[in-house]
Amino acid sequence: GAVVSQHPSRVICKSGTSVKIECRSLDFQATTMFWYRQFPKQSLMLMATSNEGSKATYEQGVEKDKFLINHASLTLSTLTVTSAHPEDSSFYICSAIKVGSNQPQHFGDGTRLSIL
């Protein structure tokens, strides 16, 4: 159990394009989902915490108008990178926590975003 699906796995697009990434918990309901960014050979950097039905909480230095997060249901959160530029190229990973339990985060397989 505790499977998290992330889609798409790879995106290549032109500068100025907006890109949407989906994160789904397949076999459990998630109270909270997290969005991370990871640069090569570096650890995960938390971007924002997403709670179902409420606004996301962004970490310091993360532009909320640049990285739009929507958590419409207990199984789906989306991250939209708006007007993406080459410096937004990175590996974006989501994770989810099960409802009502003090459980660890389960991660999706990430989305590799390349902006040309």
Partner 1 sequence: QKEVEQDPGPLSVPEGAIVSLNCTYSNSAFQYFMWYRQYSRKGPELLMYTYSSGNKEDGRFTAQVDKSSKYISLFIRDSQPSDSATYLCAIGSGNTGKLIFGQGTTLQVKP
- Specify whether the CB–CB gap between 35 and 69 falls below 8 A: yes
Size of the residue set binding partner 1 (CB under 8 A): 25
At CA 59, angle to CA 3 and CA 42, rounded to 5? 65
Q: Is 89 in the site for partner 1 (CB under 8 A)?
A: no
For residue 20, CA distances in Å to 2, 91, 98 come to 23, 13, 23
Taking the least distance from each CB to partner 1, the nearer of 82 and 113 is: 113
To the nearest whole angstrom, how small is the minimum distance from the Cβ of residue 7 to partner 1?
A: 12
Identity of the amino acid at 72: A
For partner 1, the binding residue among 20, 22, 62, 112 (CB under 8 A) is: 112
To the nearest whole angstrom, how small is the minimum distance from the Cβ of residue 109 to partner 1?
A: 5
Q: Is 77 in the site for partner 1 (CB under 8 A)?
A: no
Q: Return the residues of window 1-20 that contact partner 1 according to CB under 8 A.
A: 2, 4, 6
- Specify whether the CB–CB gap between 93 and 108 falls below 8 A: yes
Where do runs of H (alpha helix) occur along 26-115? Answer: none
**What is the contact surface with partner 1 in residues (CB under 8 A)?**
2, 4, 6, 31-32, 34, 41-44, 46, 49, 91, 93, 95, 97, 102, 104-110, 112
